[in-house]
Amino acid sequence: MKTFLNFSRKLISFIWLLLTVIVIFFLIQQFTNPGIKGISNYDLKLYLKFTLCFAFIFISLKFFASKLKSS
């Protein structure tokens, strides 16, 4: 169970990092090329919701892993 939690935590971290890199790439593209349509405010709000969900899942997995470790 502990290895599954660690794997899940690393997978969530990787997906979260990948989404963050994509958003940063689109923000840089929008900043350097103002004529090209970049990421919209709606997309940024949606990214914020994803970030909050990923943060909640990541912290929950970390909490459960520490509880398993202590018992």
Query: What are the residue ranges spanned by the domains of the chain?
Result: 2-70
pLDDT at position 71:
65
CA–CA gap between residue 62 and residue 8 (Å, rounded): 10
- SS3 at position 38: coil
From residue 34, alpha-carbon distances to 10, 14, 19 in Å are: 36, 30, 22
Handedness of CA 31, 35, 38, 41 (dihedral sign): positive
- pLDDT (average), residues 5-20: 88
pLDDT at position 58:
85
Six-digit token pair at 14? 């990787």
pLDDT at position 14:
92
CA–CA gap between residue 38 and residue 58 (Å, rounded): 29
Percent of the chain with pLDDT over 70: 99
